[in-house]
Amino acid sequence: MRSRVAGRFENDHVLRRLHDDGYMADAITRRTFRKAWKKNNLDRFSYPYSFLGWLHRIAMNLCTDERRRQERIREKIEKAIRKKELDVPPHTVSAEEAAEIQERERRLEERRNAINNAIHECLAVIPDERKEVIVLHRFEKLKYRQIADRLGIPLGTVKSRMSRGTQDLRQCLRSRFPQLYGQ
């Protein structure tokens, strides 16, 4: 059965469409079957659904994970090149590519600044008890239990304030800054 399903993946070019590298597509196919045949994952499969669809979803998730991993690696390399931490021969990056990287960085920095300004502006209109919980969790990286202890309120209240505060923040950002957050 495995060869038939693997053949279907290969014939359907599912992985090759999701990932351009043929070698990586083969590696992800192998990882898909390893993940599917593990005891705890196989128990999660619900038989009224398509087994092939289930395998396809696992493969798609693995491809997404791999693309994100490669993107993080690429960003780290570009950052190291910009900071001159990585010794790259001058001929490996053309002047156009260097200019393009710098322009992309400038646009990203402008967007980050605009987003930070928008968040701070919207935090100013959120009620103080909700804002306090959001700031402690998102910016000071405290867990809900730590916030509850620091503020002397129940854990459920922290969760409630976080939920409502996040909704308020999202609504404010979408209404005031549609160019950044969409409507």
pLDDT tens, residue by residue, 8-42: 554 445 555 555 566 777 888 888 888 877 756 66
Query: Can you give the pLDDT at residue 11?
Result: 45
Kindly state the percentage of the chain with pLDDT values over 90.
23
Is 50 exceeded by the pLDDT of residue 3?
no
Domain 1-88 belongs to what topology? Rna Polymerase Sigma Factor; Chain: A (1.10.1740)
Query: Can you give the pLDDT at residue 165?
Result: 94
Which residues are CB-contacts of 70 (< 8 A; sequence separation ≥ 6)? none
* Cβ(36)–Cβ(55) below 8 Å: yes
pLDDT tens, residue by residue, 113-153: 888 888 889 999 999 999 999 999 988 889 999 999 999 99
Structure-model confidence comparison of residues 128 and 51, the more confident one = 128
pLDDT tens, residue by residue, 57-104: 888 888 888 888 888 888 888 777 777 665 556 556 677 777 788 888
Query: Can you give the pLDDT at residue 88?
Result: 56
Query: Can you give the pLDDT at residue 91?
Result: 56
Is 60 exceeded by the pLDDT of residue 183?
no
Q: State the chain's mean pLDDT as an integer.
A: 79
Residue type, 19: H
Domain boundaries defined on the chain: 1-88
Cut 0.75: pTM above it:
no
